Amino acid sequence: MITLEMLGGLPRQMDNVIVSRDSDDPVALLETKWLKDARHHNDKGAWILQLREVRKKHPTIRGASAVLAGHWTEGVGLMLMSEGGIKMVLVATDEQVYQTLQPHLDAFLGENRFVLEPEVMRKSYPRPADLLRFITYLNNTGNLRTIATSWLRCERVTTNGIFIGAD
């Protein structure tokens, strides 16, 4: 378990800490947070904001990065940018991800198909065994990488304009 102290002396568990060679001094922090639904926005968002407090305690840290996946709302993103000075790369929403997967799922399942509905998927995956077989098939055929790469090219409309993740 990797822990670093904050200014108040409270230890925080980190997902990943990059250190200089032959040293224990942290240089960069990397956290990952995945939300299946919007229930834990505040908890996980606050955790990301605490990275700057960890940085204040350790002057050798030159940067921190967070990978936020799942159903994060634009409001939380704006809060993280304004309160934490966090820069973001916006990629496909869950709706856009399911739209890119749907035709491949339909072809894979044939007449036994079903619709990937974001509202339903956020609560519970329908037919998880079929989804596992499908994702495994996509990965084994090399198609998953191609589809996932397209998620960086999806347009995201925000209050600040239209963004494309690859940009």
* Closest among 160, 35, 30 to 93, alpha carbons compared: 35
Cβ atoms of residues 88 and 81 within 8 Å: yes
Q: Is the dihedral of CA 34, 72, 132, 142 positive or negative?
A: negative
Output the pTM of the full model: 0.67
- Are 69 and 98 members of one domain? no
Q: Which residues pair with 28 in a beta bridge?
A: 18, 63
Sequence-distant (≥ 6) Cβ neighbours of residue 144 within 8 angstroms: 135, 138
Per-residue pLDDT of the chain (167 residues; tens, 9 = 90+): 788 888 787 888 888 899 989 998 999 888 887 776 666 666 667 777 777 788 888 889 888 887 777 777 777 777 777 777 777 777 888 899 999 999 999 999 999 999 999 989 988 899 999 999 999 999 999 999 999 999 988 887 777 777 777 77
Cα 64 to chain center, whole Å? 15
Which among 27, 56, 84 is the end of a domain? Answer: 84
Which among 84, 116, 142 is the end of a domain? Answer: 84
- Are 77 and 8 members of one domain? yes
- Are 130 and 76 members of one domain? no
Cβ atoms of residues 7 and 56 within 8 Å: yes
- Are 65 and 13 members of one domain? yes
The pLDDT of residue 145: 95
Per-residue burial over 6-16, b if 16 or more Cβ lie within 10 Å, else e, is beeeeebebee
**Domain total in the chain:** 2
For residue 161, tell me if it sits in a domain. no
For residue 166, tell me if it sits in a domain. no
- Are 15 and 56 members of one domain? yes
What 3-state class would DSSP assign to 157?
Answer: strand
- Are 37 and 105 members of one domain? no
Backbone angles phi, psi at 45, to 5 degrees: -65, -40
- Are 139 and 111 members of one domain? yes
- Are 76 and 100 members of one domain? no
The pLDDT of residue 41: 60
d(Cα 147, Cα 130) in Å, to the nearest integer? 18
What 3-state class would DSSP assign to 161?
Answer: strand
d(Cα 85, Cα 161) in Å, to the nearest integer? 19
**Tokens of residue 116, six digits:** 């990937």
Q: Residues, the chain, total? A: 167
Q: Domain span at residue 69?
A: 2-84
